[in-house]
Structure 1
Amino acid sequence: MEAAPPTPPVALARLLADTELGLRLLAGPAAAEVHGVHASEMADPSPYLLGGELLLTAGAELGADPDRYAARLVAAGAAALGFGVAPVHEAVPPGLAEACGRHGLPLLEVPPGTPFTAVARTVWRLMEQARTGELRRVTEAQQSLAAAAARPDPVPAVLRRLAASLGGRVELAPDGRSAGGPVPAGA
């Protein structure tokens, strides 16, 4: 399994909070983070997952052993399973919900009126918002460091700005100048 992509993850709770999608958590923790979306009707999609995906399925090839299906997804690193009700199944199979609960795999019910592409677009939109926020924070930190470096006594000013940006303590060796909070234990 490869490392998660260099994009900010989307909290599953944010997808659940989107009332337009109408997703409902049926099993597993809502604290998962989604790094991508993949739709598959394969009996075993696990070889095609990188890890961190919200796997969307209508259960066409779910098979008779939902426990094995859920176990494979967890082993492949899937973040969650979204099950689209109708046209294949009128409801999420109870055995699948039980299996996902046992394996700690979040199981979402995707209502009939919600296309899988709407779920995927929402994930990508939330990722883009998070990425834009990260870039904005980095740009603001760079600007504040540049402004601090332009001050009459730049070293302490830069150390203070850097410590504030990082939310910690910054030290400059060998003269021992420092700024920020206390050094964490074990540092």
Structure 2
Amino acid sequence: MEGMHIMPDASVSLAPAVPPTPPIPLSALLAREDLALRLIAGPADRGTVIHWAHTSEMADPYPYLLGGELLLTAGVHVTPADATGPYFDTYVSRVAAAGGAAIGFGLAPVHDSVPRTLVAACDAHGLPLLEVPTQTTFSGVARAVWQLMAQARLAELRRVTEAQQRLAAAASRPDPVPSVLRQLAQRLTGWAALYGPDGAEIASAGRAPHDAARQALAHLTDVVRPAPATTAPAGTTPPG
């Protein structure tokens, strides 16, 4: 409609959205001997994961990042003056704000070594920094990322398929309920329970949760339990 304006919803999160693909640990990429990557700055956290690799020589890559990237750069955008000034602090802060997972800096063909100001900036902003040696191409790094992601995806599919097969086998046993619950508890590494329509626990398996969790679960059963059917008084017709 002419003259109508739609204001953005301030409640909508602007956090970077990562793709629905299995991420790979940064440690798995560092373990690839053919790449010879070296972590030279930032946290050595084994929980850091990568969703994809992206190459950019933009001075400000923020608008082009979606989050979760290993950002690869050879420093083409860096002048000699930038290498000794506050340039890299701004650069790294923008990558971190965009949700970048790590930076990979190539030693060729522009720089013979990783600028010390970049190392300091990555340490300051908690962003892992990888040194990419001369013999390793960025396309080779990207290919390794996709290979590791494909392996992770295949392992996940195998895990799901095996779980489905074991659940189907448990359901066909003479005691299907406890068998299925045991498989669920084992696969989820937790506790599985079956509740009846009246909210009473029928069967369970796995390590029992704490009292607080049991109370929360009991409250949840009250919420999802079907409401009792109401009986119309004699001589009246229920609304249709």
Q: How would you bin the TM-score normalised by the shorter chain?
A: over 0.9
Structure 1 segments of 4+ aligned residues over 2 angstroms from their partners: 184-187
Q: Do the aligned partners of 1:12 and 1:30 also contact (CA within 8 Å) in 2? A: no
Which one of the candidate residues 23, 30, 42 is aligned to 1:9? 23
- Whichever residue aligns with residue 61 of structure 1, its letter is H
In the other structure, the counterpart of 2:238 is: none
Superposition pairs of residues 32-111 of structure 1, within 5 angstroms: 32-62=48-78, 64=82, 65-111=87-133
Question: How big is the shift at 1:19?
Answer: 1.1
How many residue pairs end up in the alignment? Answer: 187
Change (3 A) 1:186 1:122: farther
SS at match of 1:68: helix
Structure of higher RCO (CA pairs closer than 8 Å, 6+ residues apart) = 1
Question: What whole-Å deviation, never above 9, does each CA across 1:149-178 have from its counterpart, x for those lacking one?
Answer: 111121111111111111111010024111
Q: Do the aligned partners of 1:62 and 1:69 also contact (CA within 8 Å) in 2? A: no
In the other structure, the counterpart of 1:148 is: 170
Q: Distance in 2 between matches of 1:91 and 1:137?
A: 43
SS at match of 1:25: strand
Q: Do the aligned partners of 2:16 and 2:99 also contact (CA within 8 Å) in 1? A: no
In the other structure, the counterpart of 2:8 is: none
SS at match of 1:142: helix
Change (3 A) 1:82 1:145: same
In the other structure, the counterpart of 1:132 is: 154
Matched, 1:22 2:48: no
RMSD: 1.2
Q: Distance in 1 between matches of 2:89 and 2:98?
A: 14
In the other structure, the counterpart of 1:182 is: 208
SS at match of 2:131: strand
- Whichever residue aligns with residue 46 of structure 1, its letter is Y
- Whichever residue aligns with residue 206 of structure 2, its letter is G
Structure 2 spans left out of the alignment, 5+ residues? 1-14, 214-240
Q: Distance in 1 between matches of 2:211 and 2:36?
A: 45
Q: Distance in 1 between matches of 2:23 and 2:212?
A: 29
- Whichever residue aligns with residue 178 of structure 1, its letter is S
SS at match of 2:173: coil
Question: How big is the shift at 1:30?
Answer: 3.0
Change (3 A) 1:39 1:161: same
Q: Percent identity?
A: 60
